[in-house]
Amino acid sequence: MSPAGNVRDLRITDLRFADIDGAPKRCTLLKLYTNQGLVGYGEVRDASSRTYAALLKSRILGENPCNVEKIFRRIKQFGGPSRQGGGVSGIEVACWDLAGKAWGVPVWQLLGGRFRERIRIYCDTDSAGGGRDMGQALKARLAQGFTYLKMDLGIELLMDQPGCLSAPLGFLEQMRKYKQTVFSTPHGSIDPRAMRGEAYDLFNTAHPFTGIHITEQGLDFLEQYLADVRAEIGYEVPLAIDHIGHVPLDDCIKLARRLERFNLAWMEDPVPWQLTDQYVRLAQATTTPIGTGEDIYLKENFLPLFRSGALAVVHPDVLSTGGIMETKKIGDLAEDHGVAMALHMAESPIACMAAVHVAAATRNFTALEVHSVDVPWWDSLVNGLPKPLVNQGYIEVPDAPGLGIESLNEELITAKLHADFPVAWDATEFWDKEWANDRQWS
């Protein structure tokens, strides 16, 4: 129970942020303060803006955080696809943390109970070199206890392979230059000041419009790369692939057919999620399972894909969907349509634990991504959870109230602050009286 008063009288009094770097990317942590001393922890999705959450402050001040659905419905109109949903989602997560702390129960209990007591983890794995090198890197994951694997397989592997890609002349050179500029900092921290110019515009052109194609030689290369990976890890462990690249649907079909014999768990985000008809065409053209979802905001935007029958796996991110309850609802909708649910997560332990509670409470869950296995200080950002948090490929579902996080490691957060925001939990009064008539009808 709330230590300083009646839960009915609990109210949100403040919202503050801390931007940290390298966990594995830039992450914006947030705190919701209350009139009874309880603090709720949330997070804005990696590489997003704290402004998406800050502009909502005036709309939640004075509200009881235990009325999570009421608050969510008030602010959900201010979210959008991918990182634009991060503000709404982060606040929703913090409200659930407060509700669990106020009532003295874990979030999974508030979601209806749990189907499992530990959560299967997979980690997206990077490796330089060829397929054998990637296979060795994945074998190391197996030795750590992981029972589910994922790797990148796409045009980035072909950028320096002669004859493997065709594109408008000069295009690939600009993309190489852009990539070197943007991803030259540790853990892929993107400096927005580098994201300018024609190369950036080309890099952010949607798949059907880039003019990039994978040649037969390129398809041969990717097929052999995956054959070399499977030669190292065998065929019994599930293996998913991601980051195919911005190539059109026909190329995705060719690649998916080439890879059918490798028994993939899923092929992730081959085309933009909005193009439902293209997902249908792809699914009907191959037996390789297809998955998407990390950039989709709100459950209603998942429905066209579910109803189309094109997905084998849905892969939402709690910090993009709208939060914990929305992701739970998405999982239930997926189950109704015969689709398994994995969870994307490339953020701090706060987002990770939000996903853990969803995974525990959702029957058709399969595996949760943790993108920070190789960041040694990652699980030290929070106090009150086991260390290591990921143990032999699993995270134990906590019984402690809320997300299960007792407190944040303020000393470590201070040491990891992003250069653009060198003060943690600075005052945000600027947003206290931000106002507009948010009504959506006359």
Express each pLDDT in 147-181 by its tens digit. 999 999 999 999 999 999 999 898 888 888 777 76
pLDDT value at 203 more than 80? no
269 and 244 in contact (C-beta within 8 Å)?
Answer: yes
Q: Which two tokens stand for residue 31?
A: 């705190």
pLDDT of residue 194: 56
Task: Give the residue from 154, 65, 62 showing the smallest Cα distance to 402.
Answer: 65
Quick: pLDDT tens for 58-101: 999 999 999 999 999 999 999 999 888 899 999 999 999 999 99
Quick: pLDDT tens for 255-298: 999 999 999 999 999 999 999 999 999 999 999 999 999 999 99
Quick: pLDDT tens for 397-420: 999 999 999 999 999 999 999 999
316 and 303 in contact (C-beta within 8 Å)?
Answer: no
Q: What is the mean pLDDT of residues 189-203?
A: 61
What band does 25 get if pLDDT is binned at 50, 70 and 90? confident
pLDDT of residue 198: 65
**SS3 for 135?**
helix
pLDDT value at 188 more than 50? no
Q: What is the mean pLDDT of residues 368-382?
A: 96
What band does 187 get if pLDDT is binned at 50, 70 and 90? very low
Q: What is the mean pLDDT of residues 230-250?
A: 97
Q: What percent of the chain has pLDDT over 90?
A: 83
Q: Which two tokens stand for residue 310?
A: 């094109």
Q: What is the mean pLDDT of residues 316-340?
A: 98
Indicate the average pLDDT of the chain: 93
Taken in order of first residue, the domains within the chain and their CATH numbers are 7-104+408-431 (3.30.390.10), 118-407 (3.20.20.120)
pTM of the model: 0.95
Which range, of 39-48, 114-123, 188-197, 314-323, averages the lowest pLDDT?
188-197
Reported as half-sphere exposure (CB side, CA atoms, 13 A), residue 32 has a value of: 34
Strands (E), 98-254: 118-125, 149-152, 165-166, 213-214, 239-242
Q: What is the mean pLDDT of residues 38-63?
A: 95
- As beta bridge partners, residue 114 has none
What is the Cα–Cα distance from 307 to 276, expressed in whole angstroms? Answer: 10
Which residue did the predictor score with more confidence, 411 or 186?
411
Burial of 1 (0-12, 13-18, 19+ CB in 10 A): exposed
Quick: pLDDT tens for 343-356: 999 999 999 999 99
pLDDT of residue 317: 98
Burial of 52 (0-12, 13-18, 19+ CB in 10 A): buried
Peptide bond between residue 81 and the one before it cis (omega within 30 degrees of 0): no
What is the Cα–Cα distance from 359 to 397, expressed in whole angstroms? Answer: 9
Burial of 136 (0-12, 13-18, 19+ CB in 10 A): middle
What band does 205 get if pLDDT is binned at 50, 70 and 90? confident
What is the Cα–Cα distance from 223 to 379, expressed in whole angstroms? Answer: 36
What is the Cα–Cα distance from 341 to 324, expressed in whole angstroms? Answer: 14
Q: Which two tokens stand for residue 430?
A: 């600027």
Q: Which two tokens stand for residue 51?
A: 């402004």
Pairing state of beta strands 365-369 and 340-343?
parallel
What band does 193 get if pLDDT is binned at 50, 70 and 90? low
Which residue did the predictor score with more confidence, 442 or 142?
142
What is the Cα–Cα distance from 428 to 350, expressed in whole angstroms? Answer: 21
Task: Give the residue from 270, 299, 307 showing the smallest Cα distance to 286.
Answer: 270
pLDDT value at 184 more than 80? no
